[in-house]
Amino acid sequence: MPRSVSNPPNPYASVHVDYLGEAPSARLEVMEERARTVLSSNESPDVPFRWSLNPYRGCVHACAYCYARPMHSYLDLGAGTDFDRKIVVKINAAEALQRELDAPSWRGETIVFSGATDCYQPHEAHYGVTRACLEVCAAYRNPMGVITKSALVRRDVDVLQQLARDANVMVYLSIPFANEANARSIEPFAATPARRFETLRILSDAGIPTGVAIAPVIPGLNEADIPEILERAREAGARRAFCILLRLPREVLPIFDQRIEEAMPLRAEKIRRAIRDVRGGRTYDSRFGKRMEGAGPRWNAIEQLFHIHCERLGLQTGEHAEPEATTFRRPTRQLALF
């Protein structure tokens, strides 16, 4: 079980302060836990990878649309401000990961960091659990991918370069908005779009394969940003791109609805109608295989817009794919990382 930290570290008073932006006004509570396992297996047809790793529960970025919010209920916490303010750190994540990679059953499949919450949120600047997990993957040459909204990922260029040389790695920057004001309204404590594009450039120049995730597409709000996002990502060296439709589970819908009503009241009803347009008159379809898919003329136009510009720019589409043959191998000597 997570234990509360009475005086949690301040991630904004560290050597990484340039990467974190302004501190949120909300009071943060940090809890630490020792996880028995850190690899999560996924069988959903909505998600194109099997294994994910999330060193944190909850996320300071406070994105109004985050589909991981309901997972906080497993801790008897809420999907709203609890998710934004009460952060759980899996302080032994790297140690647990090493145990799982040492298990005879592990076959070296791709591990995606941040299948739920961002692995580079502000407290990573102090705890370094994501970096430690990257170091384990590098030592075992295990294929992996990263999806993040944070500029802090550039801190780990050295480890990512090693993974790019010895294994298989892809880093996606999630950039759903080209418009800075809209991004700040909906993703209040994530890095600005400009800093994310800058991060793409730094990683790409370092020889690390990169991509851009337009995640999520919010009909009525950001589909017009798609061409600019793809153009700027390609200029920054991105090789791949994917987009997914907004998901609004029951617990997330009122949070998203309140945010757009407060931030853009004159557009809120237009956004709601547009979401229903691509969901067959509903705000969400919870069926497996349908949660990230839209339907109808408007969604077809969005997909066509995305693919036309990807083709024009030479961007490969689709998320992280499994390599044909894994590079995974266990070290001949036991690691002395911990």
Would you say residue 48 lies in a domain? yes
Total domain count, the chain: 1
In this structure, what CATH number is given to the domain that contains residue 125?
A: 3.20.20.70
**Strands 29-33 and 3-4, how do they pair?**
antiparallel
The pLDDT score that the predictor gives to residue 23 is 52
Would you say residue 97 lies in a domain? yes
Would you say residue 4 lies in a domain? no
Q: What's the angle, vertex CA 81, arms to CA 75 and CA 85, rounded to 5?
A: 75
The pLDDT score that the predictor gives to residue 1 is 58
Instruction: State which H helix or E strand residue 153 sits in.
Output: none
CA separation, residue 168 to residues 128, 129, 162, 321 (Å): 22, 20, 10, 10
The pLDDT score that the predictor gives to residue 18 is 38
Would you say residue 327 lies in a domain? no
Instruction: State which H helix or E strand residue 219 sits in.
Output: none
The pair of structure tokens assigned to 299 is 């969604």
Length of the chain as a residue count: 338
pLDDT tens across the length of the chain (338 residues) = 565 554 455 554 444 433 345 555 557 899 999 999 999 987 766 666 789 999 999 999 999 999 999 999 888 999 999 999 999 999 999 999 999 999 999 999 999 999 889 999 999 999 999 999 999 999 999 999 999 999 999 999 999 999 999 999 999 999 999 999 999 999 999 999 999 999 999 999 999 999 999 999 999 999 999 999 999 999 999 999 999 999 999 999 999 999 999 999 999 999 999 999 999 999 887 776 667 788 999 999 999 999 999 999 999 997 655 556 789 999 876 554 54
Instruction: State which H helix or E strand residue 33 sits in.
Output: strand 29-33
Q: What's the angle, vertex CA 186, arms to CA 224 and CA 87, rounded to 5?
A: 140
Would you say residue 6 lies in a domain? no
DSSP assignment string, 39-106: EEE---TTSS-SEEE-SEES-TT--TT-TTGGGGGGGT--SSHHHHHEEEEETTHHHHHHHHHHSTT-
Would you say residue 1 lies in a domain? no
Would you say residue 181 lies in a domain? yes
* Whole-number Å distance between alpha carbons of 210 and 128: 22
Would you say residue 23 lies in a domain? yes
DSSP assignment string, 242-285: EEEE----TTTHHHHHHHHHHH-TTTHHHHHHHHHHTTTTSS--
Domain holding 170, by residue range, is 18-317
The pair of structure tokens assigned to 215 is 């995640």
Tell me which amino acid residue 214 is.
Answer: I
Nearest to 150 by CA among 182, 180, 122: 122
The pair of structure tokens assigned to 240 is 């791949």
* Whole-number Å distance between alpha carbons of 167 and 325: 10
